[in-house]
Amino acid sequence: MAEFHIQQGYTKLFQDRSVEHLKKENLTTTVATETTATEDLDARWQRVVERRSFLKGIGMAGAALSASTLLATEGIAQTSSSTGKLSKGDVALLQFAAWAEIVESDLWTQYAELGGVGPSGGGAAQSSEEFQKFIGGNPAYTLALQNLDGDMPQYITDNTDDELSHAAFLKAFLRSRGEVPVDLEPFRTLPSSQATGARQIKRLTSLMNLNVDLSWYTRYRSGKNPDLGAAFKGPFVIKNQPAIPLNDTDTPPSTNPAIPITGRDAERIQAIANTAGFHFAFIEQGGASLYPTLAFKATDPTVLRILVSIGGVEIDHFGLWHDKGANAVSQPLAGVVDPVTGLTFPDLNNPATELTQTNKILPEPCNFISKSLPRCSVIRPTSTQNGGAVATVKAFTEDGLFIGQSPAFFELSMQLAVAADSVRRGF
């Protein structure tokens, strides 16, 4: 019926050129369409209810349910299922997500200590942030990060806050269901940076010697998809490079890296900050791919909800960092050379190509599911093989995050990853 009324309205529009008449006619048509659409929706719901009832073999009693009753019933069903014991598969998914979040929290905390908002960081100190107490700030690093974007300290602090909340929530949720959350505390054995701003505590991850895979930069500008066999190279190579200041001798905290970046100390701290800018995006694109692969396998609706909802924030982070990292390879900042490692940050807009242009930060539509289907703008990869738990552990390991970690750490990490990747929906 709704379609009929709309069609009738269009016919009138073409038949009658009187503006006043058109307005009146449109109004009548709109009201009539909305009323009919509501009636139509109710009728459709009834048909859905009938069909569901028929399928469930509960007869005509179900067919009498209104749409609101049906929704309420489903709400109750979801609530009751959200207090029961989780399947082994769902536990494995959440435990791996917790592993990833604890790792993320550790590395982001290091970034926040040195480059987040705080007494020495950029912008006003945020006394309300619960982790304000441990943010010292490294002035040179913060200034260099602010060459990528003036708001970098705030973004770093907020990303850290998000990861801490992800880890705490997942652990608490697992506990609330009688499950044991992941404990990585015994593996906090790695040294801190000696630079001004860093707390002298033991860490789970190292940010001092990274190989930052930049293939995501090309992948998201390409119409091809790794899940359909495509392979990508980054636009340049970041290898054996620190992403945080190592000590005050290497990068004096009083250094002022003003653009154009000149002089050994300014170049060094800027190269380190630029590396961080790309590392932020590398980490978060990993999260953006991991969560969909985990979500596909979830059985309990609440577990699915958790994975989809946290995953969305990883994607949000990635989009932000993609933009900020790209500022290191566009003017006026492009061209910085690290005086220690020789790493060069090229100008990727000279020449700007489809796969390098720095402001092409939104995903290009790509092959998805089948090359015979139209290209679609999606997160990729989302296959277990390319974006799953094992792929994540491997990528983080190759990144250099776990340099110095014990064999027991890798064993536990791979155990959790294999368990998560092996989950099949419904078990």
By C-alpha distance, which of 353, 357, 138 is closest to 253? Answer: 138
> CA-CA distance, 209 to 155, in Å (whole number)?
23
Residue in 166, 203, 219, 324 binding Fe ion, rule: CB under 5 A: 166
Between residues 273 and 320, which has the closer beta carbon with respect to Fe ion? 320
Between residues 104 and 113, which has the closer beta carbon with respect to Fe ion? 104
What is the smallest separation between the CB atom of 426 and Fe ion, expressed in angstroms?
26
What is the smallest separation between the CB atom of 313 and Fe ion, expressed in angstroms?
7
Give CA angle at 38 (37, 44), nearest 5°. Answer: 85
What is the smallest separation between the CB atom of 215 and Fe ion, expressed in angstroms?
18
What is the smallest separation between the CB atom of 190 and Fe ion, expressed in angstroms?
20
Rg value, the chain, Cα:
26
Give strand ranges (E) for 147-242.
Answer: 210-212, 238-241
Between residues 162 and 300, which has the closer beta carbon with respect to Fe ion? 162
* Nearby residues of 294 by Cβ (< 8 Å), 6 or more positions away: 93, 96, 97, 307, 311, 388, 389, 420
Residue in 163, 213, 267, 399 binding Fe ion, rule: CB under 5 A: 163
In three-state secondary structure terms, 388 is coil
CA 203 vs CA 69, 219, 277: distances in Å: 52, 31, 21
Q: Which of residues 46-105 bind Fe ion (CB under 5 A)?
A: 101, 104
CB 114 within 8 A of CB 193: yes
Phi–psi pair at 414, nearest 5 degrees:
-70, -35
Between residues 62 and 287, which has the closer beta carbon with respect to Fe ion? 287
CB 269 within 8 A of CB 141: yes
What is the smallest separation between the CB atom of 162 and Fe ion, expressed in angstroms?
6
Residue in 9, 136, 287, 311 binding Fe ion, rule: CB under 5 A: 287
Among 47-55, 285-293, 377-385, 397-405, which window interacts with Fe ion (CB under 5 A)? 285-293
What is the smallest separation between the CB atom of 233 and Fe ion, expressed in angstroms?
24
Between residues 147 and 293, which has the closer beta carbon with respect to Fe ion? 293
Helical (H) or strand (E) element with 290: helix 264-295
- Classify each residue of 170-189 as buried b or exposed e, where b means 16 or more C-beta atoms within 10 Å of its C-beta: bbebbeebebebbebeebee
Among 122-130, 294-302, 306-314, 334-342, which window interacts with Fe ion (CB under 5 A)? 306-314
CA 79 vs CA 74, 76, 274, 313: distances in Å: 9, 5, 46, 24
Q: Which two tokens stand for residue 115?
A: 């480059």
Between residues 104 and 161, which has the closer beta carbon with respect to Fe ion? 104
* Nearby residues of 40 by Cβ (< 8 Å), 6 or more positions away: 1, 2
Between residues 136 and 311, which has the closer beta carbon with respect to Fe ion? 311
* Nearby residues of 358 by Cβ (< 8 Å), 6 or more positions away: 326, 327, 329, 330, 348, 349, 352
Using CB under 5 A, count the residues that bind Fe ion: 7
Residue in 90, 161, 314, 421 binding Fe ion, rule: CB under 5 A: 314
What is the smallest separation between the CB atom of 69 and Fe ion, expressed in angstroms?
38
Residues 193-232, one symbol each (x = binds Fe ion by CB under 5 A, - = not), give ----------------------------------------
Residues 348-387, one symbol each (x = binds Fe ion by CB under 5 A, - = not), give ----------------------------------------
What is the smallest separation between the CB atom of 309 and Fe ion, expressed in angstroms?
11
Among 18-26, 157-165, 199-207, 268-276, which window interacts with Fe ion (CB under 5 A)? 157-165
> CA-CA distance, 3 to 198, in Å (whole number)?
65
Q: Give me the residue label for tokens 């009753």.
A: 69
What is the smallest separation between the CB atom of 314 and Fe ion, expressed in angstroms?
5
Q: Does 322 bind Fe ion (CB under 5 A)?
A: no
Point out which residues bind Fe ion (CB under 5 A): 101, 104, 163, 166, 284, 287, 314
